[in-house]
Structure 1
Amino acid sequence: MTEPDGREELEPQFAQWRHYVERRPELRRSDADELEDHLRGSVDELVAAGLHADEAFLVAVKRMGSLDDLSREFAREHSERLWKQLVLTGESGSPAADTRSRRDLVAMVACAVGAAVSIKVPELFGLGFEEDVAFYAPNLGLFALPWLAAFLAWRRRAGRGLIGVLCALFALGAVAANAYQLTDESQSLALTSIHLPIALWFVVGLAYVSDDVRAPRRRMDFVRFTGEWFVYYVLIALGGGVLIAFTFGTFEAIGISPEGFVTQWLIPCGAAAAVTVAGWLVEYKQGVVENIAPVLTRLFTPLFTAVLLAFLVTFGLADAGIDVEREALILFDLLLVVVLGLLLYSISARDPLAPPVLFDKLQLALVVSALAIDVLVLLEIIGRITEYGTTPNKAAALGENAILLANLVWSAWLLLRLVGRRTPFAALERWQIGYLPVYAVWAWIVVLIFPPLFDFL
């Protein structure tokens, strides 16, 4: 039974608002508590004045003002907090939190070392990077991603049943990478090398949401984690490039070449370990990069929109068709994936209660442009398959573009209705969250079924 005024029905909205507030780096838990108390008090006053609970909630949120303004105000009053976030790992400064942080740090180091060691173990059996491409290419994700999943599962205290599922999925990935004995020239080897890390990343996602597997909100949190992890990994890679440059410069100055150490140890071990380190940084420093990533999204969304529109105009004026050979297929699929990534990350960082703005219209233009390109590529692929027959590359591209087409069509429709104020933002968010398993299923299909289906071509 709910109260007549319907205030109990607002609890999901309060929870969603609270979740968004707690992502602000300038706001502590005590600040969020204070703001939530103020919001609830305003809702109670408005309900007592005769407003319906839903109307009272919207009016109260509007009265509180923009969360950006609130965050800036807290930042001015507590300017030291951002610096603490940059250099400290403690969550609240309490002894229990400090102990937990130290344990997580030890677990992260152990998993990072495990990843670094894993990538060198095959050399004990005579397998080298340059000589055994057919082994290393599909197995790269298996050297690092299980350790990241292990860290996340340990941090979230995953149950034994879920840990068993994670181990089974990684074991299935190992079977898919090694059971088919694909040659260096095989198209299926390239497809497995591309799709297996994608499939395994969704296994990492299962470890990430292991504290609340059924909550849709945790899936969107994993989308945000993915974007922030990518930013941190790129930053680590850039720092590693500087380290390598200084290593070469200093050692060559005394007549010693560090090339063997750099190529055989520093790069592979560092790249594998950085996967877990980046995940740990997201967990403990997410308030810092969370301010950067949405800015990058807003910067690149108009740029990609301009590029896609320019391509469509040029394609309309030119007589040439689209080259659908393997490199071109990969390029177009990556382009569409980047567009989808920009859309997903901007959704994860958006205030769910904010009204439609100009950026939403820009996203609609981006999605419609990507949709048009997807249709063109699909028509070219179907035409080539009809004329010359199918190959593993073309079949995989056909399936991926069809999956992206379905997502883009409905996303464009929801964005159009969102811009027209006929559909709430939550509908777009639910669609993207619900569609995530489709990508995982397709990646496993390509990895497990395509090689035997096409006679390991």
Structure 2
Amino acid sequence: MTVDSGNELEQQIAEWRAYMRRRRELHTTDAEELEDHLRDRIAELTSAGLHADEAFLIAVKRMGSLDELSREFAREHSERLWKQLVLTGDDAGKPSSGNRRELFIMIAFAAVAALGIKAPALFGVSMEGGGTFYARNLGLFALAPLAAYFAWRRRLAPAVIGVLAALFAVGAAAVNAFPMAEDSQTIVLSAIHLPIALWLVVGVAYTGGDWRNDRRRMDFIRFTGEWFIYFVLIALGGGVLTAFTVGTFSAIGLDAETFVGTWLVPCGAMAAVVVAAWLVEAKQSVIENMAPVLTRVFTPLFTVTLVVLLGAIVWSSNGIDVERDVLIIFDLLLVVVLGLLLYAISARDPAAPAGIFDKVQLALVVTALVIDVLVLAAITGRITEFGFTANKTAALGENLVLLANLSWSAWLFFGFVRGRLPFGRLERWQTRYLVVYAAWAWIVVLAFPPLFAFA
């Protein structure tokens, strides 16, 4: 066994060990005994001539006959975390027929997504003259094919598919049937919150309908971060392609801007939603290495930024402006902080002791919490003085939702850093709080328009 394969094997065993220790049914001694069995079987298989990754996969699957938890681990993680036997050794670069079939089906779903954004043009609703139609329905166009792709990939039961379809139908009815004026606040809020609500509907499809499972929800959080990275990379590449397309066609006297604006960009963006999801599933190990690195780079940077911001607010004695654009900036900042926290949690070994990075994360959460309190104070003051509007009420609700999450997260993080609470408490809190985000997004989409007279 080479040094590299030995390191990879130890990493795989560490992930298996972390998974076992998260199970409440197992005591530490039980997990250690299972690990001893696993190592013995791996040693037997490697001595018989198998590669380390092959031996690990087979050993875990054989352990399933001894323990139900190990069998569950093998079933749910063999495809996601480790290459199947057909992708190892001499065949590592050769796609199997099953992989080719999945590739073609992904292309079909991506094509449906790309063409779907152009379908309204058949009914006279063009992108140039469609007003806010495309903005209101962007979440539907982008996420319905993605949900359908995961419904196929996870082999969802008809009942679950029916629930997902009903939720998409409710969202479509809300943003299109309500008589909202094109310059109203509620139409902007609906356009922003519907994609959030539907993304969590996609999460139900991603988890195979097992949304109540904490571990599956954490998998979806991990997927979200990885998907975002892939989508941004595709978007950057698409931007370069767009620039070259316009430039090269202009060089020969042809105007490609219309084609780029009405076909290439919108169709490419919709297809990229599905392609990025497929890449996460197919190339898991690449982004699993990249995303934690990015998290560790940007967490200290955002911590310093928030500390400096708080210092500037105290030094200048200036309150926070509550104009809509400013509120959006602060809310986006808090969302980015929450995203860093979520992905750092999802990529962390819960069995590892607290370290310096955990203390940096605690500082990030606390400073974000203080900023959220300042924003809430400013919003409350404006509402007291001028009354409620759709924008101010939505901002108030969103910052209260973030306040509750950040407050309890700070408490749990503080307990973990001091060695008084297990890290799993923080992990479970974050995964279960996703339901609150979904509920608030649906409230804004369904209740705000009639509540504020569609204004």
What pairs with 1:203-218 in structure 2 (closer than 5 Å)? 203-210=201-208, 212-218=210-216
Change over 3 Å in CA distance of 1:337–1:58 after alignment to 2: farther
Which amino acid letter does the alignment assign opposite residue 424 of structure 2?
A
Deviation per residue, 1:176-213 (Å, 9 max, x gap): 11011322210011101110000000010000011634
- Residue of structure 2 in register with 1:281 after alignment: 279
Question: Of 138, 155, 177, which aligns to 1:179?
Answer: 177
Counterparts of 1:106 and 1:60, CA distance in 2: 40
Counterparts of 2:239 and 2:358, CA distance in 1: 37
Checking the alignment, whether the CA contact within 8 Å between 1:134 and 1:183 is kept in structure 2 is no
Give 1:250 deviation, angstroms: 1.5
Give 1:112 deviation, angstroms: 0.6
- Residue of structure 2 in register with 1:307 after alignment: 305
Checking the alignment, whether the CA contact within 8 Å between 1:91 and 1:101 is kept in structure 2 is no
Counterparts of 2:14 and 2:222, CA distance in 1: 26
Change over 3 Å in CA distance of 1:61–1:329 after alignment to 2: farther
Give 1:104 deviation, angstroms: 1.6
Give 1:130 deviation, angstroms: 3.3
Checking the alignment, whether the CA contact within 8 Å between 2:204 and 2:210 is kept in structure 1 is no
- Residue of structure 1 in register with 2:28 after alignment: 54
Checking the alignment, whether the CA contact within 8 Å between 1:157 and 1:211 is kept in structure 2 is no
Counterparts of 2:213 and 2:169, CA distance in 1: 26
State the identity %: 59
Question: Of 219, 222, 227, which aligns to 1:221?
Answer: 219
- Residue of structure 2 in register with 1:400 after alignment: 398
- Residue of structure 2 in register with 1:84 after alignment: none
What pairs with 1:263-342 in structure 2 (closer than 5 Å)? 263-342=261-340
Question: Of 443, 446, 449, which aligns to 1:445?
Answer: 443
Give 1:171 deviation, angstroms: 0.5
- Residue of structure 1 in register with 2:141 after alignment: 143
Which amino acid letter does the alignment assign opposite residue 54 of structure 1?
T
- Residue of structure 2 in register with 1:46 after alignment: none
Question: Of 237, 252, 257, which aligns to 1:239?
Answer: 237
Counterparts of 1:214 and 1:402, CA distance in 2: 24
Counterparts of 2:320 and 2:16, CA distance in 1: 54
Which moved further from structure 2: 219-228 or 241-250? 241-250
Counterparts of 2:209 and 2:166, CA distance in 1: 19
Structure 1 moving runs of 4+ over 6 Å: 33-37, 58-62
Which amino acid letter does the alignment assign opposite residue 192 of structure 2?
I
Which amino acid letter does the alignment assign opposite residue 444 of structure 1?
W
Change over 3 Å in CA distance of 1:262–1:34 after alignment to 2: closer
Counterparts of 2:224 and 2:366, CA distance in 1: 24
- Residue of structure 2 in register with 1:192 after alignment: 190
TM-score of the aligned structures, taking structure 2 as reference length: 0.82
Q: Which ranges in structure 1 are unaligned for 5 or more consecutive residues?
A: 1-23, 41-51, 65-76, 79-88
Give 1:34 deviation, angstroms: 11
Counterparts of 2:27 and 2:408, CA distance in 1: 31
1:354 alignment partner, SS class: coil
Counterparts of 1:128 and 1:90, CA distance in 2: 45
1:93 alignment partner, SS class: helix
Counterparts of 1:243 and 1:35, CA distance in 2: 39
Checking the alignment, whether the CA contact within 8 Å between 2:354 and 2:417 is kept in structure 1 is yes
Counterparts of 1:57 and 1:340, CA distance in 2: 32
Question: Of 85, 93, 102, which aligns to 2:86?
Answer: 93
Counterparts of 2:372 and 2:288, CA distance in 1: 30
Which amino acid letter does the alignment assign opposite residue 243 of structure 1?
L
The answer to whether the aligner puts 1:410 opposite 2:408 as a matched pair is yes
Which amino acid letter does the alignment assign opposite residue 430 of structure 2?
Q
Counterparts of 1:267 and 1:92, CA distance in 2: 39
Counterparts of 2:14 and 2:306, CA distance in 1: 45
Deviation per residue, 1:46-94 (Å, 9 max, x gap): xxxxxx96358579989x9xxxxxxxxxxxx99xxxxxxxxxx984427
- Residue of structure 1 in register with 2:124 after alignment: 126
Give 1:325 deviation, angstroms: 1.1
Cα RMSD, aligned residues only: 2.9
Checking the alignment, whether the CA contact within 8 Å between 2:160 and 2:209 is kept in structure 1 is no
TM-score of the aligned structures, taking structure 1 as reference length: 0.82
Give 1:100 deviation, angstroms: 2.7
